[in-house]
Structure formats: C-alpha cells, structure tokens
C-alpha cells in the first residue's frame, strides 16, 4: 500500500528553493502536478519561470532528490513543460505580495 | 522539451577572469577621465586611446565573458571549443594595453596591439560562428548573433587597417574608415548584442511573460540594415547613404525602446535592486542619447554629439553591463560553489552574495558622474567634467570592491 500522495510529494518539493527569487517551487506555482501510481512511483509535472533558465537541469535534479527522500517512494521522474506557460497569477499570495506584482 | 543549456556552461575559472579584467579596465578608464577636458575631437589620439581602453578593455572583455556563458543559453548547444576563451582573454588584454599605449604615446605600436586584438576577436567570432552552425534553432536572436559576429569581423578588419594607416604602413582615408569601423563595432556588434541579450535577460530577471516580440524583431531588422548602409556609405564616401543609415538606426532604436517598454509593463518583479535601478537608468540614458543626437542633427553643434555619445556609452552601455554583473556574477559563483550543496546544507540566496550598500554606492556615484559629465560636455565646463569624472571614479572603486568580494564569495 503506497502512502505517498500528491500533497506529500508537494510537501517534499516545497523544500526546494529558487536561489534567485528566494521562494520555494511550490509557492512559486511552478509545480503543476505530482502523479503517484500504486507502486509509489512519482511523476512530477512542472515548469520554470523562464525557458532560458540556466538552472533548468539542476532544479529538476533537486526536485528528484527532494521526492526521493519520502519513505517508500519508487522511481521519481520530472517532466518540465511549457504549456501552460507560468505567470505570476499561479504563485501563492505571499509570493505575489513580496514580488510586488499584484 | 527544451535542451539543457547549462549542461554546456563553461567553468567559473574560465569566465571570472573576463569580469575581473573588465572591471579593472573600467576602473582605469574612469581614472583616465580625470585627465581629459570636455572640449575635444573624436580624431584626437588621446581620445581614441580612452575609447579603446573603455570599449575594448571594459565593454568587449565583459561581453566576451558573458557570451561564453550565454551563447549556450541562447543557442541551446555547447561551445564547439570552449577552451579558446583561455586564449582569447590574454590576447585581448595584452592587445588592448598595447593599443592604448600606442594611441597615447607611440602610434607605431598600434598595428602590434591591433594584431593581438584582431587575433582574439577572429578566434571569438569564428568559435561563435562554428557554435551557431550546431544549433537547430531558427530564431531571430540566433540570426542576430550571426549578424553581430559578422559585423564584429568587419569592424576589426577596418580597425586594423586604420591602425596600419595611423602608423604609416597603409595609405587609406582614415576619417572615412573610422566611421565604418565605429558603426560596425558599436552599432553592429555592441548594440545588436545588447539588444539580443536584453530580450533574454530582462524578462528572465524581471519575470515578465507573454509579451509580443514584434517591436524587437523590427528593431533588429532596422539596426542590421542600417549598419550595412552606413558601413557601405562610409567606405564609398557617400554621405547621403550614411544619412539614410543613421535614420534607419534611429527608427530601429525607437522600436527597441518600445519593446523594452512593453516588457517593463509586464514586469512582475517590482523590487528595486541594483540591477533594476541600473537598467532603468540605462534606458533613460539611451533616451537622452537619442534626443541629443536628434538635436545634433538639426543644430550641428558638436557638444550635442559629444553628450549623446557620452550618454550612450557611459549611461546606457555601462549601466546595462554593470547592472547585469550584479546578477550574472553571483549566479556563476553560486552555481560553481553552492549548487552542489543544495539539500545538504544551508546555501545563500543570490542577492545575499554582494553588499547592497556597496552596490548602492556604486550606483549613485556612477549615476551622478554620468549626469554631471553629460552636462559638462554640453556646456564645455571643465570643472563639472572633473567633478563628473571624480564621481565616476569613486563609483568604479565601489564596483571593483563589490565585484572582487562577489568573485571570492564562498572560496
């Protein structure tokens, strides 16, 4: 029985912080989904704030490592997508307020 | 999925010296300003020496270092031979020093310094062109990189012929060739490159998304054509053709400013850090430069032209480059020294890696220096020019100190 849920996966990913803006990826709204199958394999669907992000590969790796820390997790895969494109309305209120965008 | 540009990122030890030497050259050029007067001609050898100290030593050295990092980001492929950058830097630094001494003390040295610079730039341009051939991307930014490198080659070849002309080894019309050289290097390489970088870096750091790129596409096309028109006009001695080229440049730059305005309207990040302040002032200075060049066109007062070039170089180009140094250098240092520690121990945020006070001092002293210097050139006031130079030099000292600390952070 797998006890990992989308929420626990999001919780693990929320330890990953974007060093440029200082917020975690979940509150930035960059994590679109976390699909957990019966064998506890996790597929994270995420985006980045810019396609030219020089930390692209590294952020993917940090997400994998964060989810792999969950007990009982199987394989972890991260897919970076560009549709829908990220925008500030996807971020949490505290991020919007801190960035001053909305 | 987009390929992984950072897989091709060159190491910090390769790029950092470009920034280090670039900032030293900036410091030296601001120091040298203290020995100039606000009344001059662009054909004076000491002025040409200062311009090469500033443009080759500071602008080109920093741009070359930045391009070593950013070419893979823009083209999404690795450099063909990234190690050539280890050769480019010493050639460029040595060539620049020899050229500046040539302009200031001994014109016979010019071809020798010019040869070193020529070799450095040919290596840079050909490596970039070879890397361009690897990319499958067909974007306007990629085309712009190709055009700018082509103009760089034209610019350095004309520059080298001028060096031979000034030392008496080649019989050419230096005045005409000078215009072709300036336009190919400044308009064709520096401005086109900065326009291309703007489209990648400004939205990235300001978190602006979903903007229309039509204006910048038009800007690129106008500037690319205008440089070719001015270059041909200068080489053939057709003043009317050059005027057409100037007008096309003017339209191109206006489209570029309009694009930046579109991006600025969509900017999510409102935080006024040193980068944001520098970029805002850079565009204010660009606007002033255009305004003054327009006034020069109607009045033909050389003071207008001098102030226009001043705001273009020390206001726009300098602030654009310096502002980005406070983003790019912490990132490079962080990427090298702290990224491997993520998840294992506490790592700094990028904005924690430089002194905010030092950066602010740099910004305000430099801003005051640029404004005072510009006014001094307009009114030919020696006292104001010296004051502006002093502010700029003080700002440069703060830049040097903050940059040195950033590069040493976490060593």
Q: Which residue stretches of A1-102 are H helix?
A: 6-13, 56-68, 93-99
Q: What is the pLDDT of residue B335?
A: 83
Q: Are A49 and A76 in contact (CB under 8 A)?
A: no
Say yes or no to pLDDT of A82 above 90: no
**Do the chains contact at A54 and B2, CB–CB below 8 Å?**
no
* pLDDT tens per residue, range B86-111: 999 999 999 999 999 999 998 888 88
With CA atoms as reference, the chain B residue closest to A82 would be B1
**Do the chains contact at A19 and B334, CB–CB below 8 Å?**
yes
The position carrying tokens 């991020």 is: A95
Q: What is the pLDDT of residue B166?
A: 75
Give the other-Cβ count within 10 Å of B2's Cβ: 12
Within-domain flag for B290: yes
| Residues from chain A contacting residue B209 (CB–CB below 8 Å) | 85-88
B199 touches A: beta carbon within 8 Å: no
* pLDDT tens per residue, range B293-307: 999 988 989 999 999
| Residues from chain A contacting residue B343 (CB–CB below 8 Å) | 15-16, 62, 65-66
* pLDDT tens per residue, range B219-257: 999 999 999 999 999 888 898 999 999 999 999 999 999
Say yes or no to pLDDT of A65 above 80: yes
Give the distance, in angstroms, between the CA of residue B308 and the centroid of all CA atoms in the same chain: 16
**Do the chains contact at A20 and B331, CB–CB below 8 Å?**
yes
**Do the chains contact at B6 and A54, CB–CB below 8 Å?**
yes
**Nearest residue, CB atoms, B203 vs list A50, A80, A81:** A50
* pLDDT tens per residue, range B25-43: 999 999 999 998 877 776 7
Say yes or no to pLDDT of B6 above 60: no
| Residues from chain B contacting residue A44 (CB–CB below 8 Å) | none
B334 touches A: beta carbon within 8 Å: yes
| Residues from chain A contacting residue B205 (CB–CB below 8 Å) | 20
- Its pTM stands at 0.88
Query: What Å distances lie between residue B260 and A13, B95, B118, B189, B282, CA to CA?
Result: 34, 35, 33, 19, 11
Rounded Cα gap, residues B263 and B206, in angstroms: 9
Q: What is the pLDDT of residue A19?
A: 79
Q: What is the mean pLDDT of chain B?
A: 89
**Do the chains contact at B204 and A21, CB–CB below 8 Å?**
no
Strand partners, A31: A46
* pLDDT tens per residue, range B366-388: 999 999 999 999 999 999 999 99
**Do the chains contact at A21 and B207, CB–CB below 8 Å?**
yes
**Nearest residue, CB atoms, B350 vs list A20, A57, A81:** A20
Within-domain flag for B333: yes
Say yes or no to pLDDT of B184 above 70: yes
How many H-runs (helices) and E-runs (strands) does chain A carry?
3, 3
Instruction: Assign domain A6-88 to a CATH class.
Output: alpha beta
**Nearest residue, CB atoms, A85 vs list B210, B267, B268:** B210
Q: What is the pLDDT of residue B3?
A: 38
Q: What is the mean pLDDT of residues A11-24?
A: 85
Q: Which residue stretches of B237-273 are H helix?
A: 239-265
Q: What is the mean pLDDT of residues B142-168?
A: 85
Say yes or no to pLDDT of A100 above 70: no
Within-domain flag for B10: no
**Do the chains contact at B5 and A79, CB–CB below 8 Å?**
no
- Minimal CA separation from A89 to chain B, in Å: 10
pLDDT class of B7 with cuts at 50, 70, 90: low
* pLDDT tens per residue, range B385-400: 999 999 999 999 999 9
**Do the chains contact at A100 and B269, CB–CB below 8 Å?**
yes
| Residues from chain A contacting residue B69 (CB–CB below 8 Å) | 54
The domain tally of chain B equals 1
Rounded Cα gap, residues B375 and B372, in angstroms: 5
**Do the chains contact at A99 and B350, CB–CB below 8 Å?**
no
**Do the chains contact at A54 and B347, CB–CB below 8 Å?**
no
Within-domain flag for B187: no
Q: What is the pLDDT of residue A92?
A: 86
Q: Are A25 and A63 in contact (CB under 8 A)?
A: yes
Say yes or no to pLDDT of B57 above 80: yes
**Do the chains contact at A52 and B349, CB–CB below 8 Å?**
no
Helix (H) or strand (E) holding A35: strand A31-36
Within-domain flag for B176: no
């Amino acid at each position: 029985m797998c006890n990992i849920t989308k929420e626990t996966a999001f919780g693990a990913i929320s330890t990953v912080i974007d060093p440029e803006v200082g917020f975690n990826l979940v509150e930035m709204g960059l994590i679109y989904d976390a699909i957990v199958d019966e064998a506890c394999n996790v597929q994270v669907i995420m985006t980045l704030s810019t396609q030219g992000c020089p930390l692209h590969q590294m952020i993917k790796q940090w997400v994998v490592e964060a989810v792999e820390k969950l007990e009982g997790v199987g394989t972890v895969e991260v897919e970076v997508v560009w549709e829908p494109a990220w925008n500030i309305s996807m971020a949490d209120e505290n991020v919007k307020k801190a960035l001053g965008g909305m | 999925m987009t390929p992984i540009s950072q897989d091709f990122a060159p190491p910090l030890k390769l790029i950092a010296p470009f920034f280090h030497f670039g900032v030293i050259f900036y410091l030296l050029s601001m120091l040298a300003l203290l020995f100039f007067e606000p009344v001059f001609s662009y054909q004076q050898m000491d002025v040409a020496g200062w311009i090469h100290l500033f443009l080759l030593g500071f602008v080109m050295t920093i741009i070359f270092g930045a391009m070593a990092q950013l070419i893979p980001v823009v083209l999404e492929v690795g450099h063909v031979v990234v190690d050539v950058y280890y050769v480019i830097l010493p050639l460029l630094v040595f060539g620049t020093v020899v050229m500046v001494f040539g302009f200031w003390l001994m014109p016979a040295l010019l071809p020798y310094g010019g040869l070193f610079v020529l070799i450095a730039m040919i290596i840079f341009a050909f490596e970039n062109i070879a890397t361009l051939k690897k990319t499958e991307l067909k974007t306007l930014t990629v085309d712009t990189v190709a055009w700018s490198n082509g103009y760089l080659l034209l610019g350095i070849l004309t520059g080298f012929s001028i060096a031979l002309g000034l030392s008496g080894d080649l019989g050419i019309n230096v005045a005409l060739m000078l215009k072709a050289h300036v336009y190919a290097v400044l308009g064709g390489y520096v401005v086109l490159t900065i326009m291309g970088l703007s489209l990648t870096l400004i939205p990235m750091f300001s978190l602006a998304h979903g903007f229309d790129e039509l204006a910048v596409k038009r800007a690129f096309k106008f500037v690319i054509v205008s440089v070719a028109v001015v270059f041909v006009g200068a080489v053939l001695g057709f003043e009317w053709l050059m005027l057409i080229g100037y007008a096309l440049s003017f339209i191109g730059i206006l489209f570029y400013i309009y694009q930046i305005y579109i991006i600025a309207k969509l900017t999510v990040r409102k935080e006024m850090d040193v980068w944001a302040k520098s970029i805002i002032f850079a565009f204010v200075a660009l606007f002033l430069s255009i305004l003054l060049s327009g006034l020069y066109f109607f009045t033909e007062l050389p003071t207008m032209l001098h102030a226009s070039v001043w705001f273009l170089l020390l206001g726009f180009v300098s602030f654009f480059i310096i502002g980005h140094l406070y983003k790019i250098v912490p990132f490079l240092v962080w990427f090298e020294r702290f990224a491997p520690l993520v998840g294992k121990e506490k790592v700094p945020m990028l904005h924690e890696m430089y002194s905010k006070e030092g950066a602010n001092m740099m910004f305000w002293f430099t801003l005051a220096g640029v404004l005072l210097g510009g006014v001094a050139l307009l009114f030919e006031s020696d006292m104001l020019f010296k004051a502006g130079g002093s502010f700029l030099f003080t700002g440069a000292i703060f830049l040097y100190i903050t940059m040195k600390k950033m590069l040493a952070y976490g060593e």
